[in-house]
Every structure is written in C-alpha cells, then in structure tokens.
Amino acid sequence: MPYVLRLADGRVASLHRDPEPGSEFLPPEHPEVLDFLGRDAASGFAKLDAELVRVLEDLIDVLIARQVIRITDLPAEAQNKLFARKNFRERRSSHALRLYGDSEDGILPTGLVEL
C-alpha cells in the first residue's frame, strides 16, 4: 500500500490500497505520499503551534511577574494547564545533560573561559 494515480503533470491525484489500472506503488513514507496526505504540512504546523504555546506561556509569566495579571485571573482550567506544562518542563530540564555542571551561581568550572 499505497498505490498512486498521477495527473498528467505527474502530481499524485489519488491513493489506493489495492493496485488500480495505471497506478504505481510508493512506500507509505515516500515524500509524495506524505505531501498528498498533508502530513509534512501538518507536522510543520504542529511545530509552529508548539512554539507559539511556549511564547504564550512566557508572555503569561511576564505579565504575572509585572503584576499586570494574577494567575487567579485565569480560569481554573487554564491555571491547571499552565501549572502542568511548567511542572513538566521543570522535570525535563532537571534531567537534562549538564555539560558544565550546576553553575547556577554563574561561576564556570575550573579551566573554562566564557566567550
């Protein structure tokens, strides 16, 4: 699967599970199949969405820090989602590889020079 039928200009016109007269087999991960299904576009759009969510989280953090809004101004569902994401990010970063050790005090390990 999938078998593709092409338009006169060579673009994929349709996908089929079974061979059709004039169809050709392409592997499911073939770029033309993914493009026809819109998966490349969808994954690109999902990445943009994830990046925008991060921007919104940062914006909310700034607004709270500057006391423009309070976390309690947000609906309970929004608060829960923000706290869940923040906790998840903190847990992930606590397990991250630390090449220079824990230098939260800004002091680099011996022998390293900040550029």
Q: Is residue 83 part of a domain?
A: yes
Q: Which residue is listed with tokens 């087999």? A: 25
Q: Read off the pLDDT of residues 51-101 as tens digits, 9 standing for 90 and up.
A: 999 999 999 999 999 999 999 999 999 999 999 998 988 887 776 565 655
Q: Is residue 44 part of a domain?
A: no
Q: Which domain holds residue 22?
A: 3-37
Q: Is this model's pTM higher than 0.75 or not?
A: no
Provide the domain count of the chain: 2
CA 35 to chain centre: 19
Q: Domain check: are 33 and 55 in the same one? A: no
Q: Domain check: are 30 and 57 in the same one? A: no
Q: Is residue 59 part of a domain?
A: yes
In SS3 terms, 2-63 reads as CEEEECCCCCEEEEECCCCCCCEECCCCCHHHHHHHCHHHHHHHHHHHHHHHHHHHHHHHHH
Q: Domain check: are 62 and 32 in the same one? A: no
Q: Is residue 109 part of a domain?
A: no
> CA 30 to CA 7: how far, in whole Å?
17
What pLDDT, on the 0 to 100 scale, is given for residue 55? 93
